[in-house]
Amino acid sequence: MGITFNEEAGIFKIDAPDTTYMLGIFDDERFVTHLYYGKRIVDTDVNYLYGPVYQVRPSVLPGQAGRIMDTIPFEYPTYGCGDYREHCLEVETLEGYHACDLRYEAHKIYPGKPKLVGLPATFEKEEGECTTLELICRDKTLNLKVTLLYTVFEYLNVITRTVLLTNENEKVIYIKRVLSGCLEFDHQNMDVLTLHGSWERECGPVRTPLRQGKVTTGSTRGESGPTDNPFLAVLDSSATEDVGDVFAMNLVYSGNFLGVAEGHHFRGSRVVMGINPTNFSWKLEQGESFTAPEVVMVYSDQGLGKMSRTFHDLYRRHLIRDVYPDTSRPVLINNWEATYFDFTFEKLTEIAAEAGKCGIELFVLDDGWFGNRNDEKRGLGDWFVNEEKLPGGIGRLSSEINKLGLKFGLWIEPEMVSPDSELFRTHPDWAIQIPGRHRSLFRHQYVLDWSRKEVRDYIYDMIHKVLSSANVEYIKWDMNRTLTETASAALPADRQGELCHRYVLGVYEIMGRLRNDFPSLLLENCSAGGSRFDPGVLYYSPQIWGSDDSDAIERIQIQMGASMCYPLSTIGAHISAVPNHQTGRITSLETRGYIAMAGTFGYELDITKMSDEEKKTIREQVDIYHRYNLLIKDGDLYRIGDPFGNRDYACWMNVSKDKKEALVTYIQTHALPGFFGSARKLRLKGLEEASIYEVKIISESKEVRNEEAHTEGGQELGDTCESLKLSGSALMHAGYWMKRLSGDYMGMLIHLKAE
C-alpha cells in the first residue's frame, strides 16, 4: 500500500487496502490525466487505458491536427482551453482573460500528511498511517503554480485531496473558481446519491440516475445548509446497502459548496466538488497562495454500508478530537423545550435537581441568559449575563448545578447580532450588508461580519470572560440564519467576492481559539438544527445537533441519512416531550430513548412534570446508555432494510470491532393487521459466522396508557423474553424473528453476545 511512481510509464499509483487510484502524465504535452479508480489492481503501467478517448482531431490541412480537449480525462480540469465539461479551476487576469492550461512540472512523495493553513482537515494520528503525493503543475503563461495534494490512509479505503494555488507572476491573478477534486469515469451506468432536505428534514438521501446532463448539490447560504449536505456519491445502478461499487466525496468545509456529477457527450462522466463559485473571487497577489478545502474520497466495493463504515472510521480517528475519547459523553438535559425564554434561577435548579436524581450528568442552559434577551427579537451580541433573571450570574448558577452533582453547559450564538442590542447600536457596520440596499431580517437578527478581526476579537473576548467566570464544561454553539446581501464594509471592491470564504475562516479561527483556551470543553455545534452538519465543523466539535425536529419517528430518517457519512456519535439527539412540539406525535418514552441513543443522547423536556414511573424509565435509559454507548460510539453500523423507503419498520445494528457483541435497535413504525402482520424475520449483519451468540431483548416499548395525560409505562431491566443461542451464520442468513409488537411507534433493543 502507499504511493508509487512508475517513471518509465509516467504513472502514479495510490493504493489503499481495497482501492487503487491511478493518474498519468501523458507524452510530451505533460497533461496530468486520470486513468483508474476502483478495486485494487496490481499493475503499475496502465497506459492502455487511454484507448481511443485521447483523440487527435484529423484535419485536411497539413499541420492543423489537434487534440479534442473534451475527450481527455483530466485529473484537474481547467476553463478556457477547449474542455467544455465541468471544470475545477478558472482564473482571471488583470486584462480580463480567463484561460488556464496546466502541465506537469514535478512531484514529491513523502510519509505523513501536511496541515492546511486556516482550514480543518483529516490528520495522521500515529506515524506511518499516511503517505502524501504533491504533484506540481504550472500554467507557464500565467506563471501560476498549482499543487495537487493526495494523501492515502494506509489501513482505510480513503484518499484525501486538496489544491494549493501560488501566484508566481508579477501581476495579480483573480481566482474565480477553485474546486478541490475531480473524478473521471468512462461510462454513465451509475446513480448519484446526495443528501437533501430542509429545516427539520435534514439529510434525506436522494438517488438519481446519471444520464447525459448534470446532477448537482450545493449551497450559497454562507453555510453548508439544511437543503444540501457537502456529500455526493456515484454508484453502480444496481448497488445496494451491501453490494456494488460506490465512489463518494465529502467536503471538509462549512461554507458555500458545489458538487456536480455530469454525464457528458462522450458517454463518460465527471464528478467535481469544492467551494461554490457563485459570488466567489479571490485576489491572489504576487507570491501569495490559496488553499482549497480538503475533499475526502471513499471507495467501497460492498455498497453503501461499507462506504459509511469507512467514513465513520476515518472521522472518529482522524478528524474528531473528542474530549471523551474512550468514555461516554455525559447524558445531558437542555432546558429549551422545557422553559424556552421563560425561566428563573429557581426553575433551572429545580430541573437540574430532578435530572440529577435520574442519573443525568449535564445541565445545559439554552437561549435567554444574556443582555435583554427575553425573546428572540433582542439581545444577540450582548454577551454579558442578565442578572435580573440570574442573580449572581453564570458563576452562581453553575456552582449550584455542580453542587447537585451535574456538569454545567451554556448556549451561545456568537455569529449573530440583534438590531435591538447594544452592540448593533454601537457598531451597525459590523453586520454583513450592502450599502443602500434593504437588509433582510431573519429571526429578528443579522449576521456579524466575521471576516473582520476586530469583530471576531470583540465577540470572543466577551464569551471568554463569561466562560472564565464559571465552571462551564459544555458549549452549544448555534447559528440560526444564513448570509444575505453579502458585502463587507472592510473589504475593497475587488475583494468583496472573498467575504463568504473569509467568514468561514473566521468561524474556524474562533472555534480553534475556544478549543485551545478551554481544552476540556465539550463543544456541540448547531445551526437551526443540522444546517451546518459537515466535516469542517466536526474538526472542532465532536457532535452537532442533528435537527430541530426532535420527534423520534421523524428522527429515524434524519439520523440514518446523516449516518451515510457521519458516525452516530456525532449526531446530537434528545428525548423530547409528548405531544412532540414539532409534529404533535405521541410516542412512548422507551421508543424515544432507543432512537436518541443512536446519537449523543440527552433530554429536552421539563422533567419536573414527569411521573415517578417515567422518572424510573429515565434512570433505566441512562443505565442502558452507559452499558452500550461505547458499542454505539465505536462499533460498526449496519443499516437493516431500508430506513428511508420502508414505512413499516426501521432497524439498525452496532457491532463491536471484534464482532463479539452487537446491539440491535428495532422500531415498528406502522403496525399491520393480522397475526403475521407485525411479525418480521430480519437478516442481521456484521457478525462472525462461526460464533454462537446469546440473543436477548434487553428493553421493549410499553404502550402509552393514558394519551390525554401522556403517561408512559416503565419497565424493569431484564423483564424480557428468554434469550436464544444462535450462530452468526443463522442470524445473518436464515434470519431472526422479531417479537410481534402491538401498535405504531413501538420498539425494542436486542443484545447479542458471543460465547
Q: What are the pLDDT digits (tens) for 411-468?
A: 999 999 999 999 999 999 999 999 999 999 999 999 999 999 999 999 999 999 999 9
More confident residue, 680 or 718: 680
What local confidence, expressed as pLDDT, does residue 55 receive? Answer: 52
Domain 649-754 grouped into CATH 2.40.440.10:
no
Lowest mean pLDDT, pick from 69-83, 161-175, 347-361: 69-83
Has 548 been annotated as catalytic?
A: yes
Nearest Cα residue to 23 out of 158, 102, 145, 135: 135
Q: Is the model's pLDDT at 710 over the cut of 50?
A: no
User: According to the model, what pLDDT value does residue 66 have?
Assistant: 60
pLDDT beyond 50 at 81: yes
52: pLDDT strictly greater than 70 = no
Among candidate residues 478, 534, 551, 634, the one labeled active-site is 478
Check whether 722 has a pLDDT greater than 80. Answer: no
Percent of the chain with pLDDT over 70: 95
Distances from the Cα of 242 to the Cαs of 38, 185, 655, in angstroms? 16, 22, 16
Of 366, 548, 549, 551, the active-site residue reads 548
Alpha-carbon gap, residue 721 to 697, rounded angstroms:
7
The whole-angstrom separation of Cα 241 and Cα 640 is 9
CB 343 within 8 A of CB 335: yes
Q: What is the pLDDT of residue 668?
A: 94
pLDDT tens by residue, 136-180: 999 999 999 999 999 999 899 999 999 999 999 999 999 999 999
Q: What is the mean pLDDT of residues 530-537?
A: 97
Closest CA relative to residue 738, chosen from 673, 670, 685, 664: 664
Supply the pLDDT for residue 647. Answer: 86
- What is the rounded distance in angstroms from the CA atom of residue 38 to the CA atom of residue 20? 6
Q: What was the pLDDT predicted at 742?
A: 87
pLDDT band, very low/low/confident/very high, at 720 (cuts 50, 70, 90): very low
Same fold, 332-545 and 649-754: no
478 is an active site residue: yes
Domain boundaries 80-318, corresponding CATH code: 2.70.98.60
679 or 424, which is more confident? 424
CATH fold of the domain at 332-545:
TIM Barrel (3.20.20)
pLDDT-derived band at 712 (thresholds 50, 70, 90) equals very low
Q: What was the pLDDT predicted at 707? A: 37
Encode 439-461: b = buried (16+ Cβ within 10 Å), e = exposed: eeeeebbbbbbbbbeebbebbbe
Average pLDDT over residues 648-673: 95
Domain ranges of the chain: 80-318, 332-545, 649-754
